[in-house]
Amino acid sequence: MVLADLDTVALDVSATAIRQMGVPVHTVQCDVTSPRDCAELADAAADELGGLHGAVLAAGYAHHVALLEMSVREWTALLDVHLTGTFLPLQALARRMDSGGSVVCLASTVAHVGGPPRQAHYVAAKAGTLGLVRAAARELGYRGIRVNAVSPGFTDTAMNSGIFTEEERAARAARSPLGRIAVPDDVAGAVAFLLGDDSGFVTGHDLRVDGGASLN
């Protein structure tokens, strides 16, 4: 496995956890908004693994600001990471998938339902990600490359910790017919399915992992 992140501390933490499961990990520091970094990541991954057959694109960060107060800098910074930061590695990695492969991009259910206030830039970026997935699936199919998205609902991750109160988390859990919020393993299972052979004839699809919350 090749793992990439801009934050080297977080990268080391994640790599250590994966290695403890018995999986060898090669790490690469990468800024997903840099075409050069993404090209170097693709080359390093292909060399390390002896070819590329699967990739998960999940770079992102949380930032909340009211639409009427949002600066161009705040808008652009978030879209650079979430949307351009999906396009650039997708392009670079797909170029190195010589014998087909599967790319899974992390989107969000907010792309469908609009999301809470103060996240207009995030909603726009994730809606753009779904458009990119559909366009890439159409264009790359002739190369045997499948491109899909996983759209989680609210998930109990470090990115969300400290941003939402316990009352807000409880309210989100109550919206799901399953009565809870997602945990990372819920999302990982969906990603693994789309990477694997069981989804070999699935492309251009968005798999929602929200416990049915978007039904409401």
12-44 pLDDT, tens digit each? 999 999 999 999 999 999 999 999 999 999 999
Distance of alpha carbon 215 from its chain centroid, rounded? Answer: 22
Averaged over 125-137, what is the pLDDT? 98
- List 32, 96, 107, 122, catalytic entry: 122
Identify the bridge partners of residue 79 per DSSP, sorted by sequence position: none
- pLDDT for residue 169: 82
Domain 53-215 CATH class label = alpha beta
**Residue 164 pLDDT:** 72
Residues 6+ apart with CB under 8 A from 206: 107, 111, 130, 133, 148, 149, 150, 151
DSSP 176: S
- Identify the CA nearest to 118 among candidates 160, 62, 74, 65: 65
Number of C-alpha atoms within 13 angstroms, CB side, residue 130?
18
Q: Is 65 left (phi over 0), alpha (psi -120 to 50) or beta?
A: beta
**pTM, 2 dp:** 0.94
Q: Where are the domains of the chain?
A: 53-215
Count of other CB atoms within 10 angstroms of residue 99: 10
Confidence check: pLDDT of 54 > 80: yes
Residue 163: the pLDDT is 67
Query: Are 188 and 130 within 8 A, CB to CB?
Result: no
Which pLDDT score is estimated for 216? 83
Give yes or no: 122 in active site.
Answer: yes
Give 67-97 pLDDT, tens digit per residue: 999 999 999 999 999 999 999 999 999 999 9
